[in-house]
Structure 1
Amino acid sequence: FGIGETMKVITIALGVFVPIYIHTHNGLRTIDNRYAELAETVRLSRVQFVRHVVLPGALPGFLLGLRFGVTAAWLALVVVEQVNATSGIGYMMELARTYGQTDVIIVGLVVYGLLGLVSDALVRLVERRTLSWRRTLAG
């Protein structure tokens, strides 16, 4: 894919896709068979089965994968910005490394850290709101 924008997008997309796929697949595999048997017993249609059994069972795994995916996206972004970028925080940090400007590098790291923290907090908020039924069932 070269070292252009296509390579950067593909690298970040793969960094996001892999953890989401793995955790969603694991969430689907861990759905209790009793729910599938119950859905069969009450004769749920395929759409109802997906809506009432599959989605609630896979959603926790998907959201966990999304949290890992957001982290991987930031890591991949840092890497691809330092490979061959002409703008961005990574480019600024790479230039600062060349000129020995440690303070700029530290500011770049802090900005990346804050962006990662905020994006993780947003995914956790979505997770808390989406999976509110889990807390009411447990407590």
Structure 2
Amino acid sequence: MSIPEYPILSVSSVEAVYNGAIAALHGVDLLVGRGEIVALLGSNGAGKTTLLRAVSNLLPAERGAITAGRITFGGEDVSRASPSHLVRSGLVQFLEGRHCFRSLTVEENLFTGALGRSSSRTGVKADLDRV
């Protein structure tokens, strides 16, 4: 794995459990550089959703917890940030296959999701144009 020059997201030696006993992640490492696109692949039960919940600080809502390691987004420890703060900072999780707004295009869905951030419509449009 090549190391991005300036990682926007860093996952280092993360371990996680559910209900205080069910091990879900063991020593996961991941670096994502600014502007990179990364795919997370694996079989059912491999920990993909758990990792995304950990990165979004949504594990506590599922009775899960990070027991070791560290996750930072933009240099900020996600375990100390509320999920809503992370969304406003640009860390947004969306689930494939849920078809929340089936009639909207991909761009319209992204725009709708971005409105939760405290950006103006112009700022959101600029972000979408960069993507």
User: Comparing both structures, which one devotes a greater share of its residues to strand?
Assistant: 2
Larger radius of gyration: 1
Shorter-normalised TM range = under 0.3
| TM-score, scaled to structure 1 | 0.27
| TM-score, scaled to structure 2 | 0.28
User: Comparing both structures, which one devotes a greater share of its residues to helix?
Assistant: 1
